[in-house]
Structure 1
Amino acid sequence: MGWGWGHMVFGSLMMLLFWGAVVLAVVLTVRYIGGSGGRAESSDSPNRALAILEERFARGEIDKEEFEERKRLLSR
């Protein structure tokens, strides 16, 4: 008669493992379908950096010399 609590703990543990596996499967599926898996896309990075640089120049945050120097560094 003393075995009732043991089964309850085991059942709870198995339920936690089951739902953890379900959540893990969903996360991995979303990452796989999404493609990048949370990583930054390297092919777009130079274009994005240049766009930010042009925006900063247009807002007057940097002068022409600094803009040209950074643009030259990005084009390497």
Structure 2
Amino acid sequence: MSQQRKNIAIPLLTVFFITVMIILFLNGGMCERYERKMERQRHMRSYIDSMRRVKELQKLDQPKQDSAPDQR
């Protein structure tokens, strides 16, 4: 009887081990994709912030340019 249990237990443990390894492998891929996604979002956020700063600087420069001809 104990020989039968060993014969059943080994394949079950093998299947369990393979399943756990697959889950860990796939989870590692998800973590890497998540990190790349977060990095893309950070780059996009910094790009948008820099574009906002450029527009704000342009708005600040416009009144100076408009008021200069009036003073002549």
Interval of TM-score (by shorter of Structure 1 and Structure 2): 0.3 to 0.5
Higher normalized helix content (fraction of residues):
2
Query: For the pair shown, which has the larger CA radius of gyration, 1 or 2?
Result: 2
TM-score when scaled to structure 2? 0.47
